[in-house]
Amino acid sequence: MKNEGYDISASEWEIMNTIWNKKLISANEVIEIVQQHKEWSPKTIRTLINRLYKKKFIDRTNRNKIFEYFPIVEEK
Q: For residues 70 and 61, is the Cβ–Cβ distance under 8 A?
A: yes
Q: What's the CA gap between 56 and 8, in Å, rounded?
A: 11
pLDDT computed for residue 4 by the predictor: 60
Start-to-end CA span in the chain (Å): 8
Q: Name the pTM for this structure.
A: 0.89
What are the strands, taking DSSP E only, across 16-75? 25-26, 58-63, 66-71
State what percent of residues in the chain have pLDDT above 70. 95
pLDDT above 80 for 2: no
pLDDT computed for residue 1 by the predictor: 43
Q: Looking at the domain covering 10-57, what would its CATH class be?
A: mainly alpha
Best CA proximity match to 46, nearest among 24, 63, 29, 71? 29
pLDDT tens-digit profile of 26-54? 999 999 999 999 999 999 999 999 999 99
Which residue ranges make up each domain of the chain? 10-57
What are the beta bridge partners of residue 62? 67
